[in-house]
Structure 1
Amino acid sequence: MKKIVAAIAMLCSMVSTSSFASEVSAAQSAIKNQMKDPDSTNFKSVREITNSQGGRFVCGEVNSKNSYGGYVGFKTFAYQGGRTVIDGSFSNPDDYEFLALSGCAGPDAEKVALANKQAKIGCQISWEQITDVVLFNKSAEASADNAIAKIKLKNPNLDPSVAVNMKSQFITSVNAMKADSSFVESVKNNTNATRAIFMKECINNTSKAISGM
């Protein structure tokens, strides 16, 4: 797993994200419309930021009255391109990720969320490399070529020298995996359950390696 994590961490450094700018007035209007008592809505620390990936978001804190007429307390929010997420009011599975990746919840939350997102991508590519070899009888080199091709789809400007280094690491990690007969048998005979365990461990270890947290 250590060799796989090292290869995936390198892969993840090649993945970038981008965002679009948004306006403070649009953010405040959208947030007010979500409140039970829009007229009671108060804002503070509202500003536009550029996060570590170059994405622009409107951040701030919002407070308003609930159904009983009492203020609920200020909560952090993030807004971009018509989407608003308020801390603690998560209605979609990726709402927390959106808030954390925005940078509005602070640099540490952004760093961890970005590492986790990159780890998910990297670990999925790594799992597909494993199944290429174990289930579809491809060589370690062919599976590494497939992995590099998938990375290039996400990062067309991948430096050729970096790709060569990554391919070498991918081949090494797959050969190490092939030597683990119990894991190979598990992939063959219990693919879905093995994938679930692999992805959980891989994402956890890789995100920690990337973020250093």
Structure 2
Amino acid sequence: MHDAPITVAGQPLATASKALILLHGRGGSAADILSLARYLPVADYALLAPQVTGHTWYPQSFLAPLAYNEPYLTAALGAAGRAVALAGSHGISPENVYLLGFSQGACLTLEYAARHAMRYGGVVAFTGGLIGDRLYLDSYTGDFAGTPCLLASGDPDAHVPAARVRASTALLTTLGAAVTEQITPGMGHTVTPQELVLANQLIFKQPAD
């Protein structure tokens, strides 16, 4: 379950000093999410994209009780953890590891990061929130130590309520993250050019034109 090899692109792990871990959405693929890298200033990063079995990280809505998505959710978190460990095994420290996901992958990105809070390079969630019918506060430990995080979503969104995005922002903030929340009215379930610009400036530190 969720044990397919991680697709590795960008700079070779042996020589890269930074890594970007990308988690695709429901129905998507590693190749899909890797295509976002062309819009990000990550030419010198190793890119790691796990491919989920069956193109779905977990079967139910991310707002379902946690047990409804098991054992898939645990396996999905494990896949994210293996990508982080792969970067670490090549000497890339957590503060140089960046996490990014879209939709179901964004939810998984936030859930993994909040369960393993530490100083990452940055966290980007394009249309996602923490997982569960409620926020299980005992699941979240550690200290982000100022990790820059971007939570960007639309309102309304058919899958991700803005209220959960806001609750996720608040939770990450209590864990020490420096969170920027961008909720755009009528945006649709997508990643917009404006969100990419924001990610580039806030997370990947690309100077504004």
- Whichever structure has more helix as a proportion of its residues is 1
Ranked by relative contact order (alpha carbons within 8 Å, sequence separation 6 or more), the top structure is 1
Please identify the structure whose Cα radius of gyration is greater: 1
Output the TM-score relative to the length of structure 1. 0.26
Output the TM-score relative to the length of structure 2. 0.26
- Whichever structure has more strand as a proportion of its residues is 2
